[in-house]
Structure 1
Amino acid sequence: MPPLRGGLTTLREIDASDVYTLFTLFSDPAVTAYMAPPPPTIAKFAGFVVWSHQQREQGHGLCFGIVPGGMTAAVGILQVRGLNSTSSAEWGFVLSAHFWSTGVFGDAADQLVKFAFTTMHIDRLEARIALRNQRAHAAVRKLGARLESTIPSSSETGIPRDPELLWTLREEDWQRRPRDPRASAPDARQRIQTAVEAAQSELRRTESPEAVEPYPLFLFDRRRRE
């Protein structure tokens, strides 16, 4: 996959070099509170990367790493996968808390959405977001997404849990979205540099997995397992 370059970030396919960074940054409960259970070990995170490559090779979906200016490793993930309808796709995202409210997400998401509409020829992007995930609701709303429905949710054992809201995004709504002032503000890169320094202070070493264990994962699919 060729990289997608925005004003503040680069999107590229996640790879083995991202495993330790993402595993460490995603150990923050605030980051993973509303997503499917993340890989619990470095070996399983490596397996998730391998599985993502297989999904792309089989034409099922893509997984991009979000790389902010000033870093070479990904600090977040954007996923898109096809639905039964060839003109619709589902997407999900997660980003290290260090980079919240910096403009990184909006810049990266714009690149993914543009790619989905213009290169993948998707007519509609859907996101299933947990009701309490207010930050994610606000993020997709800023992109022009519309709230379509509320979806009841339960665990595999039948235990009720928070419902999900289904957001849909079409190209015409995305084109009409208000521009995020944080993406063009003079201090945007300074905010990102501060976030980069905080993230790098947390990443004091690099560790390669001794093994690779399979781990399928779609970020917003809480139906996978508890």
Structure 2
Amino acid sequence: MMHLELVTDLSAPDAESKPDLCTLGERPRERMLLYGPAVLADVELIALLLGGGRALHRARGVLDAVGGLAGLSRACPQELRGISGIGDASATALAAAVELKRRIDRLELPWGRQLQTPRDAELFLRSILHGASQENFIVVGLDARQRVRLVRTVAIGTLTRVEVHPRELFRPLLRGGMHSCLLAHNHPSGDATPSEADVLLTERMARIGLFLGVPVLDHIVITDNSFVSLAELGLLPTNLDGLDE
């Protein structure tokens, strides 16, 4: 006698066991409607943004051309438009999705929360600096309880360097009555090791901050996957020696 088992578990497959794309007829839209967006692979999500014919094939081409999601987060519409099968509509749709993600991340920034450790600062700054293709120098103004009250992009440089003037850095802090500040910049190269120029800049800005009464508590160098705190390395001066150099 044949025995049949009734399968009642209709829950979505987890990330480890999700079906191969081809077994479902390569239909990301139906998979999202059935199981939700979390089970879709990166290429499927991009295919939904692209739409039209051979969307999965074109989506794979995009990821291959830009070097994965990290590359996509840094790609401009003009660069995307140069990929085979990607026209103006697709390029701008992808760029718009990336920009929306950045804006959503900023909505979740812990405004008014205390940044008491380098890890606190890194988590706050990552949403601002993640994916930037050029060096961006950020100053974060803090109140007496080290709560975030001001964030400014002081300068935007090239892939490997950025120039920062003390006037541009401390002006918003003084006008805003900040008690102290954090400095931060990204290294698009992926190596968070501070350069000699980073160390010299930190020493100079820290001494100027002491002189102006707005001490620099830390300088965070951040990449997409790591960060370094110059305060933890003992590279923040605690006196004005060398300010005139």
Q: TM-score, normalised by structure 2?
A: 0.26
Q: Which protein, 1 or 2, shows the higher relative CO under an 8 Å CA cutoff with sep ≥ 6?
A: 1
Larger Rg: 2
Which has more helix, going by share of residues? 2
Which has more strand, going by share of residues? 1
